[in-house]
Structure 1
Amino acid sequence: MTGAVPAVGVAELPDDAVLLDVRENDEWAAGHAPDAQHLPMSELTARLGELPDADPLYVICRSGGRSARVVAYLGQQGHSVVNVDGGMQAWQAAGRPIVGEVPGADPTVV
């Protein structure tokens, strides 16, 4: 990621980090971090009032690109936000837990 957006890797996430997953509904359903909150990037501006109250708020997507754009936008709005570099792909690669919403399917990152 560029230096313009605050970012951390999955390994540097604090244990008490509040995660905001900005992937679309199908991606979320396939697999997400157990305690993450979901607000798709495509709905963000209409649902700003639903942002978790966290300082900072850690934003995650599939690989880190969409979440970086969300972090840049929210940062301009005055929110304390940090991008999770590598996104859910890095989360899964690090062996972090993933839960899914699809009955009968193993949770995975799509």
Structure 2
Amino acid sequence: MTEVGLSALEAAMVDGAPVIDVREADEYEQLRVPGATLIPLSQFVERCCEIPDADTVYVICGVGGRSLQAAQYLEARGIHAVSVSGGTTAWMQSGRPVETGV
């Protein structure tokens, strides 16, 4: 299981890599990494069929705990997934752009 930093995520996003946000809808609406797709951890098992086919799937949450769980789940199913260390909180604190709202 791999964790990546914000720079790796940012570079992957430029190349069009999928980013899955596993926080709950209210957290996602308040603040998120631009372009991240919401699949809350509470619905992850039922909705994992929505994960795009990609070489690597980047999974993010608030600080890294939930994304680790989701990435481990995907890895166990043969999907290469990495967790973003520090999560959305670190992304925001670094001054990178964010989206809000629905």
TM-score normalised by structure 2 residue count: 0.90
SS in structure 2 at match of 1:79: coil
Tell me the equivalent position of 1:48: 48
Deviation at 1:53, TM superposition (A): 2.0
Give distance in 2, aligned partners of 1:85 and 1:35: 18
The DSSP-based 3-state class of the residue aligned with 1:44 is helix
Partner in structure 2 of residue 12 of structure 1: 8
Give 1 or 2: higher helix fraction. 2
- Corresponding position: 1:64 with 2:64: yes
**C-alpha RMSD of the superposition:** 1.2
Provide the residue aligned with 1:107 in structure 2. Answer: none
Offset of residue 93 of structure 1:
1.4
Matches within 5 A, 1:19-30: 19-30=19-30
Extract unaligned runs of 5+ from structure 1. 103-110
Q: Which has the larger radius of gyration?
A: 1
Offset at residue 54 of structure 1 (A): 1.9
Q: 1:106 maps to which residue?
A: none
Q: Where does the alignment leave 5 or more consecutive residues of structure 2 unmatched?
A: none
Instruction: Give, as a single letter, the amino acid of the residue that structure 1 aligns with 2:41.
Output: M
